[in-house]
């Protein structure tokens, strides 16, 4: 899961409020995240100037994915002034190749040094073996979850921020190894002594308004003209096929923003926290956020 409009706005506004700047703030992402098309106008409002490659990346993906990406988070955050690190077992987009289901090696220089640590659609995959089957060792899944959240904690400075946006329980069928209820993050914060700065439910925000659609096409034409290029005749903004999204009732995320404390809980305490479940393969209710908020 990439970073959508709500996610990006949360990161930028929270950092601006907490630190008063982006320049020199060290941001570490779990996963080599990419910023999705819904965040385009947020980026421009916060001082990022999309280039031609960004817009062509969106254009290329419009017919193949419901939420094409603009660019890797590394490119965007570094241009905004952040010091950026990402950790991902795939090692792509400049990510440090690590297994988040295991304790991070103490030689990793960013441990305890990050002003902001983000988890956008990553931890639900930690411990995943394709799609979770009935014969998977649940202890391994829970142990992997413990290490992932402990790693989040170990990366952050004591006066830093931890920002999570992950699928809510009952949402996003056939996606990930586990699913979360809001009470899991509330219990995690209470057990660790985290200050809860935000805990809320959101639908993904990847849709464009008519004005945002016009902004994209106008900016694309402008950047193409600057390079003495033009769109092929086959690309008609009035007749573009755009991949439809899945049933919106099945989509929902939990957002949490924490200010961490000095110590993390032990594994036995973590495993007793409520609201963390093995992923259900099918949606259990018509509107997943109704269930998640109950």
pLDDT tens digits along 136-155: 556 688 999 999 999 999 99
* Higher per-residue pLDDT: 139 or 183: 183
What is the model's pLDDT at position 135? 52
What is the model's pLDDT at position 205? 84
pLDDT tens digits along 219-255: 999 999 999 999 888 888 877 767 777 677 788 999 9
**Residue 46 three-state SS:** coil
- State the angle between helix axes of 52-61 and 210-226 in degrees (0 to 180), rounded to the nearest 10: 130
What's the rounded mean pLDDT across residues 171-190? 92
Q: Are 290 and 192 in contact (CB under 8 A)?
A: no
Number of domains in the chain: 1
Share of residues in the chain with pLDDT > 70 (%): 91
**Residue 28 three-state SS:** strand
d(CA 169, CA 275) in angstroms, rounded, equals: 8
Instruction: Single out the residue of 94, 77, 66 nearest to residue 11, CA to CA.
Output: 77
Residue 27 has pLDDT above 60, yes or no: yes
d(CA 114, CA 157) in angstroms, rounded, equals: 6
What's the rounded mean pLDDT across residues 153-178? 92
Q: What is the DSSP letter of 281?
A: S
* Higher per-residue pLDDT: 30 or 135: 30
Contact residues for 231 (Cβ-Cβ < 8 A; gap 6+): 220, 221, 224
For all residues of the chain together, what is the average pLDDT?
90
What's the rounded mean pLDDT across residues 260-284? 86
CATH number of the domain bearing residue 205: 3.40.50
Place of tokens 């290490």: 147
What is the model's pLDDT at position 131? 40
Structural domain that includes position 228: 5-292
What's the rounded mean pLDDT across residues 37-59? 96
Q: Are 252 and 292 in contact (CB under 8 A)?
A: yes
What is the model's pLDDT at position 206? 80
């Amino acid at each position: 899961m990439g970073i959508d409009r709500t996610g990006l706005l949360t990161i930028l506004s929270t950092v601006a409020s907490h630190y008063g700047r982006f320049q020199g703030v060290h941001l570490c992402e779990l996963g080599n995240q990419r910023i999705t098309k819904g965040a385009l106008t947020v980026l421009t409002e916060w001082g990022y100037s999309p280039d031609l490659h960004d817009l062509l990346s969106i254009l290329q993906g419009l017919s193949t994915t419901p939420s094409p990406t603009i660019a890797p988070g590394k490119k965007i955050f570094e241009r905004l002034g952040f010091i950026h690190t990402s950790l991902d077992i795939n090692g792509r987009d400049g990510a440090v190749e690590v297994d988040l289901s295991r304790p991070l090696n103490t030689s990793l220089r960013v441990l305890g040094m990050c002003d902001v640590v983000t988890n956008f659609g990553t931890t639900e995959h930690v411990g995943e073996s394709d799609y979770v089957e009935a014969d998977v060792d649940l202890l391994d899944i829970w142990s992997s979850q413990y290490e992932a959240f402990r790693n989040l904690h170990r990366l952050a400075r004591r006066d830093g921020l931890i920002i999570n946006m992950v699928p809510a329980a009952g949402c996003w069928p056939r996606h990930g190894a586990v699913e979360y209820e809001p009470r899991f993050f509330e219990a995690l914060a209470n057990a660790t002594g985290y200050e809860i700065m935000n805990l809320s439910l959101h639908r993904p925000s990847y849709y464009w308004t008519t004005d945002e659609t016009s902004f994209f096409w106008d900016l694309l034409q402008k950047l193409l003209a600057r390079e003495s290029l033009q769109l092929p005749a086959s690309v008609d903004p009035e007749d573009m096929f755009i991949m439809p999204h899945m049933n919106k009732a099945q989509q929902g995320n939990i957002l949490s923003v924490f200010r961490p404390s000095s110590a993390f809980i032990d594994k036995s305490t973590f495993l007793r926290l409520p609201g963390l479940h093995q992923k259900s393969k099918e949606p259990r209710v018509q509107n997943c956020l109704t269930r998640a908020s109950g």
